Chain A
Amino acid sequence: MNAATSLKTIVDSATTAPFDLARIRADFPILEITVNGKPLAYLDNAASAQMPQPVLDRLVRYQTREHANIHRAVHYLSETATAAYEGARKKIQHFLNAREEREIIYTRGTTDAINLVMHGYGRAFLGKDDEIIVSQLEHHSNIVPWQMLCQEKGCKLRVIPCDDTGELLLDEYEKLFNAHTKFVAVTHVSNALGTVNPIKAMIATAHRHGVPVLVDGAQAAPHLRVDVQDMDCDFYCFSAHKLCGPTGIGILYGKAALLERMQPYQGGGDMILSVTFEKTTYNALPYKFEAGTPPIAAAIGLGAAVDYISDVGIENIATWEHQLLSYATEQVGGIRGVRIIGTAKDKAAVLSFNVDGVHPHDVGTILNEEGVAVRTGHHCAQPVMQRFGVPATARASFSFYNTLGEVDQLVTGIRRVQKMFA
C-alpha cells in the first residue's frame, strides 16, 4: 500500500459526503462515459457543470408538452409556458433571498449581466474622471466592459491588488476610495485561484463611501450560500450552466430602486408598454430589461437546477466540496515538482497548479489520456497569471458529484506527466 492509498483510506473513513454520493452520481448520465478507455473524471466544473436527469427531464417536458411564446397569447400553451418561466424566476428569487421577484432579470449569462449594468447604469451615471474599482482577481468579463466604459466616458479603472496567496489586500482596497469613486465591480470567488473574497465586508466598505457594488457570482452561486439581502450587494450576477443548468441563461439581481433608475439595455418586444413613432413607454421591472423572446426552456431549466441544488442542500455541497479540495490540495500539493497557485485561507473548489518544466497544455493533453478533464490556460484571467508570473496553469475544479477516487485519478495522471517529461 503506497502513501497515497493509505491516506485515501483514512480520508474515506473519516470523511464521507453528507449525502448519498452514489445516488447523486446516478443522476448525472454523462458521468458514466469513458474517455480514452478510462472512466471520465470531470474536473472542469468551474468552466461548466454537468446537468442532472431532473433538469434534462424538465427541459424535455417543457419542449414536448408546454412550449409556446410567453407573455403573448391567451391560449393554453402560452399561459403554461409563461407560468413555468415566471415560476422559475420565483425559485431564483428564493435561491438568492431577493426581496422582490422583479429584482431578478434573466440574461444570457454572467457576462451579459455585467454588460447590462455597464450600459444601463455605467453609461447613464458615470462620467469623466469617475473611478471604477475592480480587483486583480477578476475574470476578463468583469474587466473589459468597464474598460470599454472608461474609453467611452473618460473614467479610470482602479485595481485592488492581491498577495502571494491570492487574497485581496483589503487595506489597499480601502485606500482606493476617493471623491471620484463611483462604482465597485468585484468577484465573489476567483475562477482562476478559488479565493473566496470577504464580499460582505467589501460591500460595507464601498457603502460607507456611498458607492454601489456589482458582485460577479459566477463561481460562487454553485458552491456557497448566496443571500443578496444579507451581503447587501447592489447587483449580483451568475450563469445557469455552472449551476447544473443550461447554457445561454443567467441572472442579474439588482436592487429594485437602482434598476428603476437605469436605462434599458436593449430595445424590442416585451420590454415596452406602448410604442408609437413619437414615443415609447418602457415596461415595468423586470421586463424592461428582457427585450425579445428569451431562451424560455433554459430559464425553466435553471429553475429545475435551482430545485435540484436546493434538494441536495447548498451547505451539504459546500461541505463535500471543501473535503474534496482539502484532499486534492494535500495529494497534488504533496507531489514533488508541483506548485499550487492560489493558497488563500478561504477557497472554493478550485485547484490551480503547475508541474515544473511542463507547460499546462501538455499536462492537460496527457491528463485527458487518463480520462481526467481539467482546464488549462489563462482561464480568462490574464491579470491573475501576470500577478503570479505564469503564462497559464492547469486547473482542477470540483463539484459535489466528484469523488476522492477522481482526485486519485488526477494524481496518477500528474505522475504520468512527470514520468513522460522526466
Chain B
Amino acid sequence: MDSKQLYQEVILDHNKKPRNWGKLEGASHRAEGLNPLCGDHLWLTLKVSDGQIEGIAFEGQSCAICKASASMMTTNVKGKTIDDAEQLVREFREMATGKLDVVAQPNHLGRLSVFSGVKDLPSRVKCAILPWHTLHAAIHEADSVSTEGEQDPVAVAHAKP
C-alpha cells in the first residue's frame, strides 16, 4: 500500500494536535500501554460513572499512528458506555488485523476506518492497536499492557483481584 493511504490528513492532524492530551485528575481507571518494538509508551486515565465513560485522557511518547489512534479513540469513546467502548475495541482490533472489512461488513467504527490500511503493514498493526489494548486494560483495571510477549494482550488483560 501507499503510505499516503495510511498517513491521511486526519491521522497527521491528530498526531500534530492530539485531543484529550494529559492526565485526568481524580481518574477512576488508569492503565499504561507499552510497545517495546518501537518504544510506543502511553498512559491512559478514565473517569467512569454508572457504566459510562465521562472523561478520558492520554499522554505518552509514540509514533504518529499510535498517537492519532489514541487521540481518535478518546474522542470516540467519550460519553459512551463501557459496553459500547468494548465493542469498538473489538471492532478496531478486527479491522487492524484484517478480520473485519469496514466497507463490506457492518460496524460502528465510522472515521476510525482511516486506520484500516495498517492491516497491510504488519509491523505497524501494534502501533494502531496499542491505545485500544490499553483502554481495555484500564476498563478491567489491569496495571499495564504490552504488545510483546503474550499473543493477544486483550485476551490476557485481567482485573486486579
Task: Give the residues from 40 to 97 in chain B that come closer than 8 angstroms, CB to CB, to chain A.
Answer: 40-41, 61-66
A420: chain B residues at CB < 8 Å are: 7, 12
- A365 at the binding interface (Cβ < 8 Å): yes
B40: chain A residues at CB < 8 Å are: 361
B62: chain A residues at CB < 8 Å are: 359
A392: chain B residues at CB < 8 Å are: 38-39
Cβ distance B160 to chain A, nearest Cβ, rounded Å: 27
A358: chain B residues at CB < 8 Å are: 64
- B10 at the binding interface (Cβ < 8 Å): no
A376: chain B residues at CB < 8 Å are: 38
The answer to whether B38 and A359 touch across the interface, beta carbons within 8 angstroms, is yes
- Chain A-chain B contacts (Cβ-Cβ < 8 Å), number: 47
Given A359-B38, A365-B6, A366-B7, A391-B121 contact (CB < 8 Å)? no
The answer to whether A421 and B61 touch across the interface, beta carbons within 8 angstroms, is no
The answer to whether B38 and A377 touch across the interface, beta carbons within 8 angstroms, is yes
Task: Give the residues from 122 to 161 in chain A that come closer than 8 angstroms, CB to CB, to chain B.
Answer: none
B156: chain A residues at CB < 8 Å are: none
- B105 at the binding interface (Cβ < 8 Å): no
Task: Give the residues from 355 to 408 in chain A that come closer than 8 angstroms, CB to CB, to chain B.
Answer: 358-362, 365-366, 368-369, 376-378, 385, 391-392
CA distance A421 to B3 in the complex (A): 12
Tally of A interface residues using CB under 8 Å: 18
Cβ distance A354 to chain B, nearest Cβ, rounded Å: 12
B7: chain A residues at CB < 8 Å are: 362, 366, 420
The answer to whether B37 and A365 touch across the interface, beta carbons within 8 angstroms, is no
- B124 at the binding interface (Cβ < 8 Å): yes
A365: chain B residues at CB < 8 Å are: 3, 6, 121, 124
The answer to whether A377 and B2 touch across the interface, beta carbons within 8 angstroms, is no
Determine chain B's interface SS by DSSP, over half rule: mixed
Tally of B interface residues using CB under 8 Å: 22
The answer to whether A362 and B64 touch across the interface, beta carbons within 8 angstroms, is yes
B6: chain A residues at CB < 8 Å are: 365
Task: Give the residues from 1 to 55 in chain B that come closer than 8 angstroms, CB to CB, to chain A.
Answer: 2-3, 6-7, 12, 15-16, 36-41
The answer to whether B63 and A361 touch across the interface, beta carbons within 8 angstroms, is yes
Residue of A nearest to B61 (CB): A391
- B127 at the binding interface (Cβ < 8 Å): yes
CA distance A369 to B40 in the complex (A): 22
Cβ distance B36 to chain A, nearest Cβ, rounded Å: 8
A369: chain B residues at CB < 8 Å are: 2-3
Task: Give the residues from 107 to 132 in chain B that come closer than 8 angstroms, CB to CB, to chain A.
Answer: 121, 124, 127
| In-complex Cβ contact of B41 among A36, A377, A391, A421 (8 A) | A391
Residue of A nearest to B64 (CB): A362
A385: chain B residues at CB < 8 Å are: 39
Indicate the member of A360, A362, A377, A378 with the most B CB atoms within 10 Å.
A362
B127: chain A residues at CB < 8 Å are: 361
The answer to whether A359 and B3 touch across the interface, beta carbons within 8 angstroms, is no
The answer to whether A361 and B124 touch across the interface, beta carbons within 8 angstroms, is yes
A360: chain B residues at CB < 8 Å are: 38, 63
Given A420-B12, A421-B64, A361-B38 contact (CB < 8 Å)? yes
Cβ distance B4 to chain A, nearest Cβ, rounded Å: 8
Cβ distance B71 to chain A, nearest Cβ, rounded Å: 14
CA distance A420 to B2 in the complex (A): 13
Given A369-B2, A420-B12, A362-B63 contact (CB < 8 Å)? yes
A-B pairs with the 6 shortest C-beta distances?
Answer: A391-B39, A359-B63, A361-B63, A361-B38, A392-B39, A369-B3
Could you list 30 examples of A-B contacts with CB < 8 Å?
A36-B2, A359-B38, A359-B62, A359-B66, A360-B63, A361-B40, A361-B65, A361-B127, A362-B7, A362-B63, A365-B3, A365-B6, A365-B121, A365-B124, A366-B3, A366-B7, A368-B3, A369-B3, A376-B38, A377-B37, A377-B38, A378-B36, A385-B39, A391-B38, A391-B39, A391-B41, A392-B39, A420-B12, A421-B16, A421-B64
Q: Given contact pairs A362-B63, A377-B37, A421-B64, enumerate 9 new A-B contacts (beta carbons under 8 Å).
A: A360-B63, A361-B65, A361-B127, A365-B3, A365-B6, A365-B124, A368-B3, A376-B38, A420-B7
Chain B residues with CB under 8 Å of chain A are 2-3, 6-7, 12, 15-16, 36-41, 61-66, 121, 124, 127
